[in-house]
Amino acid sequence: MMSMAKPKVVVLGSSFAGLTTARFIRKHAGDKVDLVVVDRNPYLTFVPNIQMEVLAGHDPLETMLLDTPAIHAKDGNTFLNAEVVALDPDTRRVQIVPSDRPGSAPESLSYDYLVIALGNRLAYDQIAGFGEHGDTVSSGFYGNKLRRRLAAYRGGPIVIGSARFHQGLQDKPDWLPVGLAACEGPPLELGLAMAHWLSTHHLGDAHKITLFTPAEMIAEDAGEAIVTPFHEMASQKGFGYLNNTQDVRRLHADGIEFESRASL
């Protein structure tokens, strides 16, 4: 009697969403499926804590990386260290290119079920002057760049906020709102942490920091019931605040220009 092949589940991405989904599928399906996970990095970067590591003077590349292939191996999943370059839903195939060495040849991967958890694409390359004058805590590279800059910091104003969140609008249902900022919890967290860092290093306090947002209200997705008390607290501490900036136009050595024509 011929045995039937197990369904093949392919998970694209192995960060928070992909790793969690793969583990739940394995937990609920057991050995009834073949599970393949594809990610360009053989590790997960715990991005939410990078800012805390940076302000503590630690290298996030040493402290914030999780060995995901080891987890998948323990769960019985196959991990492929590769970049996803194309997807054909009609033939149920994914084109990938191994990402551990430049110049690798593309390969094709079949699937019965597909999970897409590739995350977002950053757009710092679309902000004029960001490479020379911008900082962020969204990766180990940028976290260490900020860590080095803080080591040389001797005073001066600090501006923290979000550029416009550019998202696809094709086939958007009418009930779905358009968010001008993707998630503004991190800028608020960084602002509070930075104020503490300034104080503990005897370099100032919240009065040196201005928070900005492209939207009418910072962290608008959290709702007024949460944001209003934060505004009151931040104002009492001395934070500056600028809303409706629309987007970041340009960064330069002495400040930042917004699409609203405002500047800091």
Model confidence at 38, pLDDT cuts 50, 70, 90, reads: very high
**Is residue 223 in a domain?**
yes
Residue 177: per-residue pLDDT: 79
Nearest one of 100, 114, 98 to 9, comparing CA atoms:
114
Q: Once rounded to an integer, what is the mean pLDDT over residues 127-149?
A: 97
Where a domain ends, among 78, 95, 116?
116
Q: Once rounded to an integer, what is the mean pLDDT over residues 231-253? A: 96
The reported pLDDT for the residue numbered 170 is: 76
97 and 187, same domain (yes or no):
no
Q: What is the pLDDT of residue 176?
A: 81
Domain edge (last residue) among 73, 99, 116: 116
Residue 230: closest CA among 200, 249, 253, 206: 206
Residue with tokens 């104080």: 199
Measured CA to CA in angstroms, residue 261 lies from 82, 247, 248, 256 at distances of 43, 10, 10, 10
- pLDDT band at residue 173 under the 50/70/90 scheme: confident
Question: For residue 1, is pLDDT > 70?
Answer: no
Domain membership flag for residue 1: no
Mean pLDDT across 232-251: 97
Q: Give the per-residue pLDDT at 221.
A: 85
Structure tokens at 173: 């249902």
pLDDT at position 174 is 85
Average pLDDT for residues 27-31, to the nearest whole number? 97
* H or E element, residue 26: helix 16-29
Three-state SS string across 101-114, please? CCCCCCEEEECCEE
Whether 76 and 160 map to the same domain: the answer is no
Whether residue 46 is contained in a domain is answered as yes
Q: What is the pLDDT of residue 228?
A: 93
Of 69-78, 170-179, 218-227, the one with minimum mean pLDDT is: 170-179
- Contacting residues for 153 by C-beta, under 8 A, at least 6 apart: 203
* Mean of pLDDT values over 46-66: 97
Q: What is the pLDDT of residues 148-166, one digit of tens each?
A: 999 999 999 999 999 998 8
Is the confidence at residue 49, as pLDDT, over 90?
yes
Query: For 64-139, where are the alpha helices, taking DSSP H only?
Result: 68-75, 130-133
Question: What is residue 168's predicted lDDT score, i.e. its pLDDT?
Answer: 73
Decide if 44 contacts 54 (C-beta within 8 A): no
CATH number for the domain that contains residue 149: 3.50.50.60
85 and 32 co-located in one domain: yes
Task: Please state which of the ranges 207-211, 216-220, 246-250 shows the lowest mean pLDDT.
Answer: 216-220
pLDDT-derived band at 2, boundaries 50, 70, 90: very low
Supply 57's token pair. 């003077």
pLDDT band at 235 (very low <50, low <70, confident <90, very high): very high
> Is the pLDDT assigned to residue 196 strictly greater than 60?
yes
Which of 94, 116, 138 represents a domain boundary (last residue)?
116
How many Cα atoms within 13 Å fall on the side-chain side of residue 88?
A: 10
Give the domain extent around 202.
124-258
Give 139-152 pLDDT, tens digit per residue: 999 999 999 999 99
Task: Give the CA dihedral 255, 260, 262, 264, nearest 10 degrees.
Answer: -30
Q: What is the pLDDT of residue 12?
A: 99
User: Residues 78, 36: contact at Cβ < 8 Å?
Assistant: yes
78 and 137 co-located in one domain = no
pLDDT at residue 10, as a whole number? 99
